[in-house]
Amino acid sequence: MTKAEIVNQVSKATGVEKAAVQSVVEAFMESVKNSLIENEPVYLRGFGSFIIKHRAQKAARNITKKTTMTIPAHNIPAFKPAKVFIAAVKEK
């Protein structure tokens, strides 16, 4: 499902114009992104959590050149679904 399809479905379900729904969806995504940049998780009860996961430094190998390089420690965004969400998907 694309962002445009989400906007269409929400617009049909609520009766709100697509342009208004589009701006709300964009603002939501921007808010989540900014919170994660500030290292603040976003919790949505019944849906899930947007969190930051820390990856430790590790060594990686390039097998074609037979060299080893170090990948520095870094943070990545992640989504952890709520138990209710997981259960609903498993039932389907």
State residue 48's pLDDT score: 96
Share of the chain above pLDDT 70, in %: 100
**Count of residues for the chain?**
92
Does residue 38 sit in helix, strand or coil? coil
Domain boundaries, the chain: 1-40, 41-92
pLDDT tens digits, residue range 2-54? 999 999 999 999 999 999 999 999 999 999 999 999 999 999 999 999 999 99
The closest alpha carbon to 88, from 43, 28, 48, 49, belongs to: 48
Domains 1-40 and 41-92 share a fold: yes
Name residues whose C-beta falls within 8 Å of residue 68's C-beta, 6 or more positions apart in sequence: 59, 60, 61, 62
CATH code that applies to domain 1-40 = 4.10.520.10
- pLDDT score of 81 more than 90: yes
- Global pTM exceeds 0.75: yes
**CATH architecture of the domain formed by 41-92:** Irregular (4.10)
Sign of CA dihedral 22, 20, 46, 39: positive
- pLDDT score of 57 more than 80: yes
- pLDDT score of 92 more than 90: no
